[in-house]
Amino acid sequence: MDRTLSAPGKLFLAGEYAVLWGGVARIAAVGPRTTAMVRQRPDRRVEILLEGSRLYGAMTPAGVNWESAPSVDFHFVARTLDLVLRAVGREGPGFSVALAPSPTAPSGLKLGLGSSARAVVLAAEAARFALDARFDALKLALLAHAEAQNGRGSGGDVAACFAGTLVRYRRYEVKPLLEVAGTGALAARLADAPAVDLYRVPELKVPMVYAFSGSSASTRVMIAEIERRLDVEGRARFTLASDALGRDLEDGLTKGDFAAVDEATSKLQALLAGLGPVVTEGVERLLKLGRSFGCSGKISGAGGGDGCIFFCPDPGARSALLEALVARGVHALAVGLEPGLRGEPLGDATLSRWFT
């Protein structure tokens, strides 16, 4: 039995860094979507298929006994499947999971759209389906993403890829789950874990554009540097300001009030820039270009690279900005809200061929 799934990417609109310190993030689920396909097997083996490579393992109640140590490309998916088997606590049936590659820039660099978050969301739901299991796939994906990063990260990108639209999200506390992730108590702890604090905002009325700066940054490294620079009181002040501006931005976006969006975006960008090395020369050039077309932009994510989200006063300004970005060789795309994780009625012919 096969099942095809898809999940969107993500873009932070507000709450970068603040979400790590108790604040609220607003994260948009955006295209292009990425697909995955799962197929049950007649044996007790687990298989991960990526473009041009695969990884095999044997099922055990304590996880997957992989035939070789998972490489970087397999890391997040392999950790997710290990945790699924621990949460289910039984073997079989076996299954194969194929995941399409996440979109990249022409240079081959990741676009900052949450490729690892999307991978754990797809893997958690694919394994849940294959095993006919009952567990909360979002909580499992949040746990897997955190464990794969040694407990770091907010989980906001995971929540957005899972839930879709615009997510208002507060960091989920995964420490109680991490404490039992390697034990037989995971299933019970997962079932009793509190609900994830998120709210879906269904519609935005301001056109948006995402532009990739041409360089990628390590979120882990950026967070470590900012937290080294900012003490507890400084983080609290930043979070308070970020939450207030995030509310203003969301209110303007849902009402279609570009003047309010412009003001909130400019202040959010200034707030982020005050943290230190988050604004690169490439980002500065993008922001100036956006302003020349009447669009308001800010960093989306941890900064130090990746890209910018622009809010435009009307569709005409969005089209003009996109044309200017493309003419300058910048990888850019119009942004609209996407639904979250979902099953697809039709299979994926490319992924299906990987099973043979």
Smallest CA-to-CA distance from 9 within 98, 97, 122 is with 122
**What's residue 61's pLDDT?**
81
Find all residues with CB under 8 Å of 295, minimum gap 6, and list them. 209, 310, 311, 312, 313, 317, 318, 321
* pLDDT band of 137, cuts 50, 70, 90: very high
pLDDT in tens, 232-261: 999 999 999 999 999 999 999 999 999 999
Torsion of Cα atoms, 127 then 129 then 130 then 134, to 10°: 80
pLDDT in tens, 260-297: 999 999 999 999 999 888 888 889 999 999 999 999 99
The segment(s) of the chain belonging to CATH 3.30.230.10 are 2-201+348-354
Q: With 80 as the cut, is the pLDDT of residue 33 above it?
A: yes
Q: With 80 as the cut, is the pLDDT of residue 91 above it?
A: no
Which CATH topology does 2-201+348-354 take?
A: Ribosomal Protein S5; domain 2 (3.30.230)
Q: Are 254 and 201 in contact (CB under 8 A)?
A: yes
Query: 208-335: which CATH number, 3.40.50.620, 3.30.70.890, 3.40.640.10, 3.40.50.300?
Result: 3.30.70.890
**What's residue 142's pLDDT?**
97
Q: Determine the Cα–Cα distance for residues 312 and 249; give it in Å rounded to an integer.
A: 13
**What's residue 202's pLDDT?**
84
CB atoms within 10 A of CB 64: 24
The segment(s) of the chain belonging to CATH 3.30.70.890 are 208-335
**What's residue 25's pLDDT?**
97
Q: Determine the Cα–Cα distance for residues 337 and 34; give it in Å rounded to an integer.
A: 15
Q: Residues in the chain, how many?
A: 356
**What's residue 106's pLDDT?**
72
Q: Which helix (H) or strand (E) holds 241?
A: helix 232-255
Give the DSSP per-residue string, 39-77.
EE-SSSEEEEEETTEEEEEEEETTEEEESS---GGGHHH
Find all residues with CB under 8 Å of 93, minimum gap 6, and list them. 40, 41, 42, 44, 130, 131
pTM: 0.94
Phi first, then psi, for residue 164 (nearest 5°) are 80, 180
Q: With 70 as the cut, is the pLDDT of residue 59 above it?
A: yes
Smallest CA-to-CA distance from 4 within 122, 161, 88, 140 is with 122
Which amino acid does the sequence have at 263?
E
Beta-bridge mates of residue 27? 12, 167
* pLDDT band of 34, cuts 50, 70, 90: very high
104-118, 147-161, 205-219, 227-241: least confidently modelled range: 104-118
**What's residue 305's pLDDT?**
66
Q: Which helix (H) or strand (E) holds 25?
A: strand 24-40
Q: With 90 as the cut, is the pLDDT of residue 225 above it?
A: no
Question: Where is pLDDT greater, at 344 or 219?
Answer: 344
**Residue 78, helix vs strand vs coil:** helix
Mean pLDDT of 49-56: 94
Q: With 80 as the cut, is the pLDDT of residue 303 above it?
A: no
Which amino acid does the sequence have at 4?
T
**What's residue 304's pLDDT?**
67
Q: With 80 as the cut, is the pLDDT of residue 68 above it?
A: yes
Q: What is the mean pLDDT of the chain?
A: 92
**What's residue 109's pLDDT?**
66
**What's residue 58's pLDDT?**
93
Q: With 80 as the cut, is the pLDDT of residue 35 above it?
A: yes
pLDDT in tens, 139-186: 999 999 999 988 888 999 999 999 999 999 999 999 999 999 988 889
Reading the block at residue 114, the tokens are 């949450």
CA Rg, the chain, in Å?
20
